[in-house]
Amino acid sequence: MLDKLIYILPGIVLLLFAVNIFYKGNNVQSYLLFVLTLLPLMDLKVTNEAWGGFKVFDVICLYSLVFLLKEFTVINHYNPNGFYFFLFVLFAAIVLLGGLASEFPSRAYLNFFKVLPIFVFARFFLTECYKDPTFHKKAVNGLKIAYVGALSFLLIQSVVGLRFTFYPQLSPNTIDPIFKIIRYPGVFYDSQASGQYLALGSFLFLYVDKAASRKVHLLNYLVFVLAIAGISLAGSRAAFGGFALGLIMVFFMAARQYRVYGLVAVVVGYLIFSFVSLQTGVFDRTKNLSEDFLFRQSIWKEAFEISKKHPLLGIGSGNYQNYVIRHAQGQYLEVENGQLVYFDQPENGYLKIMSELGFIGFGIFVLFLIIPFLKGFIYYIKGIYNNNVAFFMAGLISWAIAFNTVYSIYDYRILIMVVSMIVLIVSYPVYDDEAELIPNKEI
């Protein structure tokens, strides 16, 4: 069905971007809101793998960097992001040096250039939030629109079948031949990525303006409930575990009224989850949990051994599969007709980064996650941030837990959502006594 459009959809999106520029102006906010609102379409390929596999997001960010260069390079004294800029430069240097030291340099060099688009996006996003505090809510609304679109796509897919997809071929884990289970991937190629996206973005719908009408509150909570059903349809245990931990964080940090509404939403969501699980059996795989864990553990041990052999710079970004084919040929799966597929990741996002970028690159990556999370928590304790920052922190922690089972940020939609959560925490608006937004200066 939609898979037939995979070759023309990227062109349609880029045409829409040109129309967006024409009507809304060539400015930072229009660029950011276009990306956030049409997030489910940002990972569509513009070129094939032989030509680098560049995607819609790469083209849009490159255009924005060239034609908004002045805004990109401007120094904003209200924007205390110098430390994050330093981290990025250091991270990019590790990726580049890792390519020089790698057995497979070409792939590492390509990944070096693919680091730039997300940096361009993050810098524009962070700078705009500091420049215009009201943009924070605009960005959240854009992410909500994108999320509703992706969730609606998934729910339709669960009714009409897997032919309703963007991809001619889906990940092998979409259909479990042992348990006869379908794990619906929605707009994604992989069902685990879909589960992570749904868990990560679900907490946005607990972030509702107090002045919003009762109808708006109810619609947001309805989407939150449906998100639980979506995670169930994706059949991702790790995503559901991360979602549960994020929910616990919300109960401890959010204001009292959100705990009440959240509890009601969870009860309703649990009933939906139970129904979905009963009808589809998506979580019946837990019966094989011990065997699955032992299988993953063996791969994790091998990945860690690779990291110890290349501790400083790793084997080069994007080179895990190439390295496995040459040096660790036991890491494969047998699919249809006896065909062997070698792992391109060790079933663990952190270990993939550690093996490809070494302990230094891994440490920098972890700092990108920990520092914003700690800042949000400390500022919440001090009363600088209000309770609602918990929703962004919950989303980030839900993804961080699920990332332990699969490397998902190869997909721009996951990466953009993760970076957006980090930016929304770091630039979270500070409120004065009159509850008016003021710039989030360095405090």
Reported as a single tens digit per residue, the pLDDT across 214-245 is 899 889 989 998 998 899 888 888 888 899 88
At residue 329, the pLDDT reads: 74
Tokens of 270: 């649990």
Give the confidence band of 147 by pLDDT, cuts at 50, 70, 90.
very high
Cβ atoms of residues 394 and 377 within 8 Å? no
> Which of 48-52, 91-95, 326-330, 396-400 ranks highest by mean pLDDT?
396-400
Q: What is the mean pLDDT of residues 318-335?
A: 80
pTM, two decimals, is 0.90
SS (H, E, C) the chain: CHHHHCCCHHHHHHHHHHHHHHHHCCCHHHHHHHHHHCHHHCCCECCCHHHCCCEHHHHHHHHHHHHCHHHHHCCCCCCCCHHHHHHHHHHHHHHHHHHHHCCCHHHHHHHHHHHHHHHHHHHHHHHHHHHCCCHHHHHHHHHHHHHHHHHHHHHHHHHHCCCCCCCCCCCHHHEECCCCEECCCCCCCCHHHHHHHHHHHHHHHHCCCCCCCHHHHHHHHHHHHHHHHHHHHHCCHHHHHHHHHHHHHHHHHCCHHHHHHHHHHHHHHHHHHHHHHHHHCCCHHHHHHHHHHHHHHHHHHHHHHHHHHCCCCCCCCCCHHHHHHHHCCCCEEECHHHCEEECCCCCCHHHHHHHHHHHHHHHHHHHHHHHHHHHHHHHHHHCCCCCCHHHHHHHHHHHHHHCCCCCCCCCHHHHHHHHHHHHHHHCCCEECCCCCEECCCCC
Lowest mean pLDDT of 88-92, 150-154, 324-328, 365-369, name the range: 324-328
At residue 394, the pLDDT reads: 94
Give the confidence band of 347 by pLDDT, cuts at 50, 70, 90.
confident
Q: What is the mean pLDDT of residues 191-210?
A: 92
Tell me the pLDDT tens digit for each residue of 380-389. Answer: 888 888 888 9
pLDDT(297) > 60:
yes
Q: How far is CA 418 from CA 131, 248, 395, in A?
A: 21, 19, 8
Could you give the CA distance from residue 122 to residue 101 in angstroms, rounded to a whole number? Answer: 28
Average pLDDT, the chain: 84
Tell me the pLDDT tens digit for each residue of 42-63. Answer: 999 998 877 778 899 999 999 9
At residue 278, the pLDDT reads: 52
At residue 17, the pLDDT reads: 96
170 vs 219, more confident: 219
Q: What is the mean pLDDT of residues 309-322?
A: 88
Cβ atoms of residues 401 and 245 within 8 Å? yes
At residue 283, the pLDDT reads: 54
Give the confidence band of 264 by pLDDT, cuts at 50, 70, 90.
low
> Which of 78-82, 321-325, 435-439 ranks highest by mean pLDDT?
321-325
Q: How far is CA 365 from CA 46, 101, 192, in A?
A: 28, 20, 21
**Widest Cα–Cα separation across the chain:** 68
356 vs 84, more confident: 356
Give the confidence band of 123 by pLDDT, cuts at 50, 70, 90.
very high
At residue 434, the pLDDT reads: 38
Could you give the CA distance from residue 270 to residue 272 in angstroms, rounded to a whole number? Answer: 5
At residue 337, the pLDDT reads: 64
At residue 285, the pLDDT reads: 54
Q: How far is CA 177 from CA 170, 172, 288, 363, in A?
A: 14, 10, 14, 38
Closest to 350 (Cα-Cα) out of 404, 290, 421: 404
Give the confidence band of 4 by pLDDT, cuts at 50, 70, 90.
low
Could you give the CA distance from residue 62 to residue 60 in angstroms, rounded to a whole number? Answer: 5
Percent with pLDDT over 70 in the chain: 83
Residue 97: what residue type?
Answer: L
429 vs 362, more confident: 362
